[in-house]
Chains A and B, each alone.
Chain A
Amino acid sequence: MSAQLTVGDVVAERTVHLTRESLVRYAGASGDFNPIHYRDDVAAAVGLPGVLAHGMLTMGLAVGTIESWLGDTGRILEYGVRFTKPVVVDPETGADVTVVAKAGAVDEGTARIDLTVSCDGVNVLVKAQVRVRVD
């Protein structure tokens, strides 16, 4: 982790490719078995454009982007997001979620990292902010 952190610095970025298998894996790991995350018929019946990624999967993979920069996830003091748009995961082509992590504010000993999280150019989370210890 760089000691010289300046507002606007991109500290990390990545694109994660999600498939239906990713969703089944997250369902099992988290215990969230809501069928809108693995059944097309149920998703369609409740009016969704397709099977969606769990919001908590998107939130989890988003913060994972800054782990190697941080060096220790124990430096994370707070993490919050608003879920705005769904991530539709196509059965054949999946979905690509792109995360860009920028320093949004730098204070004495702490920093706010702002995550821009998008799929097909649309932001799927807003106010995705991580407050971290940087001392």
Chain B
Amino acid sequence: MPVNPELVGREFPPTAPYLVGREKVREFARAVFAESPQHFDPAAAQALGYADVVAPPTFAMVIQDLTLQQLLAEPDSGIELSRVLHAEQRFRYTRPIVAGDELTARLSVTAIRAMGGNAMVTSDAEITDAEGAHVVTATSILLVGEGEK
């Protein structure tokens, strides 16, 4: 089944709120070799003007991943995880993610481009805080193979 072009513009519900924990921020920072004290020490983060420890920039992927799961769960998407390659990733920040944030993401598929038998699927996750203010927009481009006919 090819990727369904009608995914572009489809409305998706916001993801369930994700509460960013201090220990999760520390765990993620260690995993990506991010060594700044602002990720580990609340006092260091507060000295920079943040309420609590600051997540490394690519932590936004953890939230965006919830939207990619929504996309894969669409019964008519034509996208199977085993045929997906992550081709490109971008983040556009209003502010960094901080422990204590309660984040929701809204998925939109902005482009599907055929490339031979494959498709390049561009999707945005607009990530907002509990007040509804923009935090970061995460954009993934997935290369989806055609698979079996």
A interface, CB within 8 angstroms of B: 16, 22, 25-26, 28-32, 34, 46, 55-57, 59-61, 63-64, 67-68, 72-74, 76-83
Given the known A-B contacts A64-B56, A73-B56, A79-B57, are A59 and B31 also in contact in the complex, defined by CB atoms under 8 Å? no
30 examples of A-B residue contacts, CB within 8 angstroms: A22-B31, A25-B30, A25-B31, A26-B31, A28-B31, A29-B24, A29-B31, A29-B32, A30-B62, A31-B65, A32-B65, A55-B86, A56-B58, A59-B58, A60-B57, A63-B57, A64-B56, A68-B36, A72-B48, A72-B54, A73-B54, A73-B56, A74-B49, A74-B50, A74-B54, A78-B91, A78-B92, A79-B58, A80-B88, A83-B85
| A to B contact number (C-beta, < 8 Å) | 102
Task: List 8 extra interface pairs beyond A79-B57, A79-B90, CB under 8 A.
Answer: A25-B30, A28-B27, A29-B28, A55-B86, A67-B36, A68-B36, A74-B95, A80-B139
Central interface residue in A25, A28, A61, A74, by most chain B CB within 10 Å: A74
B35 at the interface (CB under 8 A from A): yes
Q: Nearest-CB distance from A18 to chain B (Å)? A: 9
Q: Which among A28, A55, A64, A77 is the interface contact of B35 at CB below 8 angstroms? A: A64
**Bound Cα distance from A81 to B86, whole angstroms:** 11
**Across the interface, which residues of A come within 8 angstroms of B31, CB to CB?**
22, 25-26, 28-30, 57, 60
B93 at the interface (CB under 8 A from A): yes
B96 at the interface (CB under 8 A from A): yes
**Bound Cα distance from A64 to B50, whole angstroms:** 19
Given the known A-B contacts A25-B30, A73-B57, are A59 and B89 also in contact in the complex, defined by CB atoms under 8 Å? yes
**Bound Cα distance from A42 to B3, whole angstroms:** 25
B93 near A76 (CB under 8 angstroms)? yes
A56 near B89 (CB under 8 angstroms)? yes
Q: How many residues of B contact A (CB 8 A)?
A: 35
**Across the interface, which residues of A come within 8 angstroms of B36, CB to CB?**
67-68, 73
B89 near A30 (CB under 8 angstroms)? no
**Across the interface, which residues of A come within 8 angstroms of B58, CB to CB?**
56, 59-60, 63, 79
Q: Nearest-CB distance from A90 to chain B (Å)? A: 19
Interface residues in B87-123 by Cβ distance below 8 A to A read 87-93, 95-96
A74 near B88 (CB under 8 angstroms)? no
**Across the interface, which residues of A come within 8 angstroms of B32, CB to CB?**
26, 29, 57, 60-61, 64
